[in-house]
Structure 1
Amino acid sequence: MKGLYTALMCSFDEQGNVNEKGLREIVRYNIEVSEVDGLYVNGSTGENFLISTEQKKQIFEIVKDEVGDQVKLIAQVGSLNIEEASDLAKFVTDLGYDAISAVTPFYYKFDFEEIKDYYNTILEGVDTQLIIYSIPALTGVNMNLEQFGELFENEKIIGVKFTAPDFFLLERLRHAFPDKLIYSGFDEMLLSASVLNVDGAIGSTFNVNGKRAKQIFTLAQGGKIDEAREIQKVTNDLIEEILNNGLYQTIKEMLKTQGVNAGFVRKPMKQLTEERAIKARELAKKYL
């Protein structure tokens, strides 16, 4: 399960329906061009929190059908509706996904016992492994070392997608839990996380920047920090320009220049203006 995983985008049509052909093309691009080790399906980048349960299941089915056993697959099933999360966990386990992941429950100020019960409930009656998705900036959930340790007492919880700039906590996690999988979740901090010996990374921009990300990770593992730093600099130039132009919309437009039908974003996200679409195409020409 180690390596680089793309936080997979999903192609939607103008009405917000799943565009199956486009989704399959995004999958193929990530495997054949970006050459990532796996796909993280129905995370934030897949606009997961904007779609219905049936659409989530449709996406899980299409991706598994397209991938087969070519690369590893992690299914993000987390939801404020715990029945939905449990249902999705069973659904993807039956489909043959390699692991599930679940974002910490958000919006309401859950205490840690409630968060722990959430994860344990999702895993009840499911023969699968789970990766915690920790992204405090968006969920408001900050867990400390001891709390991660309590969650890891459930042997089915095998690791964490660590999307936070707290590198002190990241180092402490790595030291305290050498047998757990730790994935870096911030693409712009991949080198810094790699130096701390993470097991891999899961990133949005890997949809268009997977090769560079893999180079950074591999070079850092080999101690070639100066070379990795140069590639991280180029990567961060790209990330900065993408963020300034509109994250998901720009990545989708860049994919379109590569012949991938990446479709549209779902409302309430807005589509790119023509000016921003031109900028996205310029970025593709510059970086891809």
Structure 2
Amino acid sequence: MTKNIRGIIPPVVTIFNADGKVDEAGYRNLVEFLTEKVHGLFVCGTYGAGPAMTLEERKRVTEIAIDQVKGRIPVIVHVGAACPEDTLDLALHAKNAGAVAVASVAPFYYKYKQADIIRFFNELISKVDIPVFLYNNPKTTGLEIEIETLKELKKLGLAGIKDSTFDLSYFYRVKTEVGLDDFVYVSGTEAFIIPTIPLGASAAICGLANAFPEIVVELYEAAINKEYEKAFELQERVNALRQVQHLTDSILGIHIMLKFRGINSGYPKKPLALPGNDVEERIKAALKNLDVKL
């Protein structure tokens, strides 16, 4: 089943209405927009506000995405939570809803030891009969996942890793010490499509691909086809677009860019709030300078 996990996989932004409720129509529209352009979807992750939603909201968002996709591309569901029992509940729900895989951060808030993390994932792997990925995001969890921990979890059946360390040396260590023959490495950023994809990464979960999936997919295809001159040029353009996105909070930047593309992006999850018109104008001007067609 992990062979289908490849290419560009946006971490889909969850759309809320002004009252803070999930906007099902808006979310379906975004999922449809992306499904026609990318290789898979990652839902309820950081961009998807997963850890900030109730269990009921997370389950409903998962159901909406899988229903809208209707099997056309793989849907991976992030199920990580502070409470391990909640993670298992979400994982079993995702499996029953039709997800091809689940991913989880280690339980956060407490400073768990590596042995605790191994116990947590071993139980999750043993109780969920679809592939389980470790979502390595030390910036949000405060937990480092050591390479020896990955080695042990691979033996226990861990399918792969979504790596959001933003550390290329960590990728190189996974490649050489854990191995990629039967372990799926997924980069957590569009900034590292070059060099991770040419060197064995299977996919990239890219926030920018919410708003500009076409160019990120074009970069991926150039990389796997070894069209390196084209790929280097596209990587620089993707990096420039990423800088524009980060003229504000990264999630808010996606909401604004989607709006410019004519996609109803609604509101972010409270307490986040959309920035003022001055930020929108700065982003619009930066996109114009890059000659981006909206």
- Structures share fold, TM-score greater than 0.5: yes
Deviation at 1:69, TM superposition (A): 0.4
Pair 62,48 (structure 1): closer, same or farther in 2 beyond 3 Å = same
Match of 1:88 in 2: 90
> What amino acid maps onto 2:160 in structure 1?
G
Could you give the per-residue CA deviations for residues 27-53 of structure 1, whole angstroms, max 9, x where no partner exists?
A: 011122xx1100001000011122111
Which stretch has the larger CA shift, 167-176 or 23-32? 167-176
Alpha-carbon distance between aligned partners in 2 of 1:169 and 1:125, rounded to the nearest angstrom? 28
- TM-score of the superposition, structure 1-length normalised? 0.93
- Identify the structure with bigger relative contact order (alpha carbons < 8 Å, sequence gap 6+): 1
How do 1:150-161 residues align onto structure 2 when only pairs under 5 Å count?
A: 150-155=152-157, 157-161=158-162
Over the matched positions of the two proteins, sequence identity in percent amounts to: 26
Pair 284,25 (structure 1): closer, same or farther in 2 beyond 3 Å = farther
Alpha-carbon distance between aligned partners in 1 of 2:40 and 2:187, rounded to the nearest angstrom? 14
Match of 1:224 in 2: 227
> What amino acid maps onto 1:212 in structure 2?
I
How do 1:98-113 residues align onto structure 2 when only pairs under 5 Å count?
A: 98-113=100-115
> What amino acid maps onto 1:162 in structure 2?
D
Deviation at 1:276, TM superposition (A): 1.3
Alpha-carbon distance between aligned partners in 1 of 2:248 and 2:169, rounded to the nearest angstrom? 31
Does the Cα contact within 8 Å between 2:133 and 2:162 map onto a contact in 1? yes
Q: Do structure 1's residue 24 and structure 2's residue 28 form an aligned pair?
A: yes
Which stretch has the larger CA shift, 128-137 or 277-286? 277-286
Match of 1:278 in 2: 281
Match of 2:163 in 1: 162
- Give the match's secondary structure for 2:159: strand
Match of 2:68 in 1: 66
- TM-score of the superposition, structure 2-length normalised? 0.91
> What amino acid maps onto 2:70 in structure 1?
G
Match of 1:207 in 2: 210
Deviation at 1:128, TM superposition (A): 1.3
Match of 2:16 in 1: 12
Alpha-carbon distance between aligned partners in 1 of 2:116 and 2:105, rounded to the nearest angstrom? 14
Deviation at 1:283, TM superposition (A): 5.2
- Give the match's secondary structure for 1:244: coil
Does the Cα contact within 8 Å between 1:144 and 1:169 map onto a contact in 2? no
Does the Cα contact within 8 Å between 2:114 and 2:146 map onto a contact in 1? no
Residue from 178, 193, 196 that aligns with 1:193: 196
Could you tell me which runs of 5 or more consecutive residues in structure 1 were left unpaired when the two chains were aligned: none
Deviation at 1:159, TM superposition (A): 0.5
Alpha-carbon distance between aligned partners in 2 of 1:165 and 1:255, rounded to the nearest angstrom? 25
Deviation at 1:64, TM superposition (A): 0.9
Pair 254,166 (structure 1): closer, same or farther in 2 beyond 3 Å = closer
Alpha-carbon distance between aligned partners in 2 of 1:284 and 1:136, rounded to the nearest angstrom? 31
- Give the match's secondary structure for 1:97: coil
Deviation at 1:9, TM superposition (A): 0.6
Alpha-carbon distance between aligned partners in 1 of 2:241 and 2:34, rounded to the nearest angstrom? 18
Alpha-carbon distance between aligned partners in 2 of 1:78 and 1:54, rounded to the nearest angstrom? 14
Could you tell me which runs of 5 or more consecutive residues in structure 2 were left unpaired when the two chains were aligned: none
Which stretch has the larger CA shift, 247-256 or 1-10? 247-256
Matched length: 285
Deviation at 1:278, TM superposition (A): 2.8
Does the Cα contact within 8 Å between 2:7 and 2:40 map onto a contact in 1? yes
